[in-house]
């Protein structure tokens, strides 16, 4: 995808709706179109994509293999303007229908996205994104007996 394929958002908070809508129609090109050419994206397992093309490819693979029957719902969005030209958007989302090929489907997952946006002449674009799983009742992750798990110290 070249720079001319860049799309723009009217407001920083529009990134959350754009991401959700693109996800729900499984359109990786549309999803990635608002990311800067050199944007970065870190997913829930720490995979780190470092440009728009790789963000698109990773989501295209996910839509075909891991998430073909999934649906993303937007639960809450908060926007913090850093300046007239920069903003951070946090978006809490709910994912259902993941991993149809797995033996055990999660009933749903909640995630928290952090999007860093910048204003350009045509509107707002995303410079960076990070997605984090929300695991209710836990405070951190540990490795215990060779197994990675979420725990609470309370």
- Whether the pLDDT of residue 2 is over 70: the answer is no
Helices (H), 62-124: none
Which residue range is the domain that position 58 belongs to?
Answer: 3-151
* 5 pLDDT above the threshold of 80: no
Global pTM value: 0.90
How many domains does the chain divide into? 1
pLDDT score at 8: 97
Q: What is the pLDDT of residues 44-79, one digit of tens each?
A: 999 999 999 999 999 999 999 999 999 999 999 999
* Cα dihedral across residues 91, 128, 64, 100: positive or negative: negative
Q: What is the CATH number of the domain that holds 48?
A: 3.10.450.50
pLDDT cut 90: percent of the chain above it: 76
pLDDT digits (tens, 9 = 90+) for 116-135: 999 999 999 999 999 999 98
Residue 101's pLDDT band, with cuts at 50, 70 and 90, is low
Average pLDDT on 79-85 reads 98
141 — pLDDT class (breaks 50, 70, 90): confident
Q: Which of 65, 7, 3 is nearest to 31 (CA)?
A: 7
């Amino acid at each position: 995808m070249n720079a001319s394929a860049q799309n723009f958002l009217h407001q920083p908070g529009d990134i959350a709706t754009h991401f959700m809508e693109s996800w729900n129609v499984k359109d990786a090109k549309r999803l990635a179109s608002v990311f800067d050419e050199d944007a970065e994206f870190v997913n829930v397992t720490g995979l780190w994509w470092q440009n728009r093309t790789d963000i698109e490819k990773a989501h295209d693979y996910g839509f075909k293999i891991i998430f073909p029957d999934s649906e993303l719902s937007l639960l809450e969005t908060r926007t913090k303007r850093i300046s007239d030209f920069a903003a951070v958007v946090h978006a809490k989302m709910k994912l259902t229908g993941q991993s149809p090929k797995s033996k055990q489907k999660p009933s749903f997952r909640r995630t928290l996205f952090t999007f860093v946006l910048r204003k350009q002449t045509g509107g707002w674009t995303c410079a960076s994104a990070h997605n984090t799983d929300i695991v209710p009742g836990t405070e951190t992750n540990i490795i215990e007996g060779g197994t990675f798990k979420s725990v609470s110290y309370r």
